[in-house]
Amino acid sequence: MKNSFAGMNVLITGGSSGIGFALAQRFKTSGAHVWILARDENKLIASSESLGLDQDQNYFITDVSNFSEFADVLQYFSSRNLHLDVLINSAGVTQPGEFEFMEMDLFHWMMDINYFGTVNAIKALLPLLQKDSTIVNISSMAAILGVYGYTAYGASKYAVRGFTDALRSELKLAGIFVSIVFPPDTKTPQLDYDNRFKPKITKELSSTTGVMSADKVAHEIIYGIERHKYIIIPGIESKLIYLASNLLGRRVYNLVDWMISGAVKKQKNPLE
């Protein structure tokens, strides 16, 4: 990666693991000043040491679902007269399940972190951004096409998509770039957790698609940021799904139903 971010200030929510951590590694390698934000202090300390971050304070213990917890982050940067060149909202959670059997608190949990966590970070830290700064919101391929077993997660990521679409138009007037990322299944601790709860049909559907490494996803995200792309879709397979969903229009649901029917049939006849 080119040193196009050398000397820039980058803050990444959810930066202690997964895609957020992979992004922190790549930004650090490019010469950027990187701060990571998450809830778990032990993970933050371990990740900060692994990254070799160079600031005296290089991480923030913050629950993104709580707007007031961003006050310390804002105070830290403001008191040092620092602005943010890049703000990446990567904090997120997921737990699949069939709607009929999911508890309501799971819907609130995912919406609070995935959607409101994104809104809270931008609302609190917007004073630190200036002309030519960039905001990157991590959504999901589940916000391109509804996925069986992801009624809660998909809704939270669709909310991020709708919010980001409107935000892009508003902040463009201030010269602030906005990007949204639709990553596919990515090899992260979150995916390992996710796999524990997938319904059988969801497992069958996901077995037909590939899994990207977090580093590869991070590479494509940074490539998109460098070029001020609004929509960033890592992976060829994901790009094809996005293209098909746009080209097929309403007919894409016939394709989804056909795939689910095939998954159900395989559950009944596993040898086929």
Would you say residue 3 lies in a domain?
Answer: no
Work out the average pLDDT over 215-232.
98
> For residues 97 and 110, is the Cβ–Cβ distance under 8 A?
no
pLDDT confidence of residue 270: 57
Can you give the CATH number for the domain in which 76 is found?
3.40.50.720
Q: What is the pLDDT of residues 137-185, one digit of tens each?
A: 999 999 999 999 999 999 999 999 999 999 999 999 999 999 999 999 9
Q: What domain range includes position 201? A: 9-268
**Three-state secondary-structure class, residue 152:** helix
Helix, strand counts (H, E) of the chain: 11, 9
Q: What is the pTM of this model?
A: 0.94
pLDDT confidence of residue 2: 56
Would you say residue 189 lies in a domain?
Answer: yes
pLDDT confidence of residue 1: 47
Would you say residue 168 lies in a domain?
Answer: yes
Answer with the residue of higher pLDDT: 253 or 229. Answer: 229
Task: Please tell me the total count of domains within the chain.
Answer: 1
- What is the distance between the terminal CA atoms of the chain, rounded to a whole angstrom? 45
Q: What is the pLDDT of residues 35-45, one digit of tens each?
A: 999 999 999 99
| Residue 161, phi then psi, degrees to nearest 5 | -65, -45
Q: Which residues are catalytic?
A: 139, 153, 157
| Sign of the C-alpha dihedral computed for residues 263, 267, 270 and 272 taken in this order | negative
Would you say residue 2 lies in a domain?
Answer: no
